[in-house]
Structure 1
């Protein structure tokens, strides 16, 4: 493998699925690599190319990327789409000549990573969750390096731990800037600021349970509440009525652009345990009550919450047991004593990995490339039959 000289401008391709969970870390890495003087391109699907937050300097290339299911017709269509995407990625690499291709999971990342393997370009896969995703599981053995966000990652073959680098999940700069600030003062007389969000789409279960749970708190806490809650558009008026009926002041919205500012003032977070949420809570140091999404693939949100809970920075409640009474009980355990909440905040802060984007960029930057023109022409299609068979085998498992 040829290692490039540090400081020399290189080309990198980032490949990610079309959701925020896959793309936000890719955007953060793109910004850091661009800051270091490199050229970066994004490979994703049509949905990913339109997602808000993409840096203006980052060109997006949309490739076909079918999903692989057990239905024979769907499998055939999925394989055909992946193969078309792989061929398009090889043509992109021939002109762009990346030193490394970085995958962030999701089916849209698969064609680009398969093309990189065929062209013998170094590959790094980044796993945001505490359970290795399906596409990353398929790619892990052939990857040059595996970057993880957690010290323990389920569904990762132990034989591959030798190429694992724990870097964490990149966090937005405005959130990371809060890491050096103290936990907001919380005494027996101060306001008790609670922030509730359900991820990018909101969560109806939070709208149904949280207002009634907060209303069950003892007067010492309930009378000091100041609530900010993100709701789904169809839920917001019903939630507004519930808070009004309980005489609890609450600011509601379907989306808050200034989330970093709101997080800065928060004493307690209530919400899902997606990878980006956990990364931001631990970067800033905010205690939480987490309600993992029960339909998350491989139950990865429950596993995401495990480290923060074990450290004492959060409590987790399964959605099946997430009732107003249980929520009120857990809030009291954390917040009746101001020091208990402050200690949980410190425990959450200790779980943070604030250098994630820098460490990931260092890892990616450490890999060089080989002259691609001849490799693609000579090697590009030789892997076709074995790759097709491997894809079919993976989808059947």
Structure 2
């Protein structure tokens, strides 16, 4: 006899929200549970994740654009909440868990309305807007950092430090040694600017590498994510510098690239930092200054204080500064290996397991026999059937 529980995971449509949700879904499904995802159209299109779960695209609504935009946003939230409630009538989740982003809001509001236990997971070191809005009402708050700004002390009794779940392919790097590096070997540099890339990395990194001592520059092998409008310009620059470079607008095999990287230059998104620390890779980080509540600056503090990374504010991120920081890390004996070890020590590799344990412990829904079948991925609200799909 098959025994299972049902869980709904709700996440905004960026990789920072979707990847940890996917990792938790994989863990829950490995335990025999069934999982459904609520997201927006962007999240439903991210390749390679949630292929074994039903995916529901619900209207979310964003409170922006003045009075008319607020009215439209409220209507979207209400419509998404009502559709989620109808989905829950069929799916009967034990817990609804939000991973941040506006698409998580209607699903959580519907669960609260239906007295279904709720949990939120905060990936960043600053509590996000949706999670702040619902902190008082949810049953538990899972965090990725020991200290989370804008999380009120009165909620301490419901806070659980679990870390930020990562993909199994990244988790498998945990037991690998740091790539061998000598004064004569190839020096592999990975440059990534998050899901949308970052033009400033395309502007600064190639010129910064040109300023490195020839003994280091001639050993470089670069893999870099670029925006589509930047990629040919960057390719021409690397060719002129005679630096081998593999450029792409989206790096599909990030775990493999991370496995052999000696140094990573990146934004400071939550998933990026979780992967760096689980794998144990040193980094130079450039927090995105426009990130909401400047959360990327807060994200880097733990890793920088531990000695696993260096952080350069974007206003100071110049080719000269990059070259200086790279030389300190790459040319001092043992500096990279030491930073890699310190980064590794900051990793929380059991985050998906601990998050799944938390979800199993919340709520009182009974075990369900004869689990509902998994239905195909749902591509639009109109396909929701109003009764929802079972995973």
Relative contact order (C-alpha < 8 Å, sep 6+): which is higher? 2
Aligned to 2:307: 312
TM-score (norm 1): 0.89
Aligned to 1:389: none
Aligned to 1:99: 94
Aligned to 1:122: 117
Does 2:23 correspond to 1:28?
Answer: yes
- Superposition RMSD in Å: 1.5
Cα distance between partner residues in 2 of 1:355 and 1:12: 20
Per-residue deviation, 1:14: 0.8
Contact 2:14 2:195 (C-alpha < 8 Å) held by counterparts: no
Cα distance between partner residues in 1 of 2:254 and 2:127: 28
Per-residue deviation, 1:216: 0.7
Of 251, 256, 268 in structure 2, the residue corresponding to residue 256 of structure 1 is 251
Does 2:157 correspond to 1:162?
Answer: yes
Contact 1:15 1:108 (C-alpha < 8 Å) held by counterparts: yes
Per-residue deviation, 1:370: 5.0
Secondary structure of 2:197's partner?
coil
Aligned to 2:343: 348
Aligned to 2:377: none
Per-residue deviation, 1:32: 1.2
Deviations 1:120-163 (Å, cap 9, x if unpaired)?
Answer: 11111001111111001001111101011111111111111221
- Segments of structure 1 that go 5 or more residues without pairing to the other structure are 1-6, 372-397
Does 2:180 correspond to 1:185?
Answer: yes
Cα distance between partner residues in 2 of 1:370 and 1:70: 40
Of 29, 39, 54 in structure 2, the residue corresponding to residue 44 of structure 1 is 39
Contact 1:102 1:124 (C-alpha < 8 Å) held by counterparts: yes
Distance 1:46 1:251, change over 3 A: closer
Does 2:342 correspond to 1:361?
Answer: no
Distance 1:77 1:233, change over 3 A: closer
Aligned to 2:203: 208
Per-residue deviation, 1:253: 2.0
Deviations 1:31-72 (Å, cap 9, x if unpaired)?
Answer: 111111111111122232222223222111222211123722
1:11-90, aligned counterparts within 5 Å?
11-69=6-64, 71-90=66-85
Contact 1:120 1:370 (C-alpha < 8 Å) held by counterparts: no
Does 2:282 correspond to 1:282?
Answer: no
Deviations 1:293-318 (Å, cap 9, x if unpaired)?
Answer: 11111111111111111100000111
Per-residue deviation, 1:76: 2.0
Secondary structure of 1:252's partner?
strand
Per-residue deviation, 1:361: 0.4
TM-score (norm 2): 0.90
* Count of aligned pairs: 365
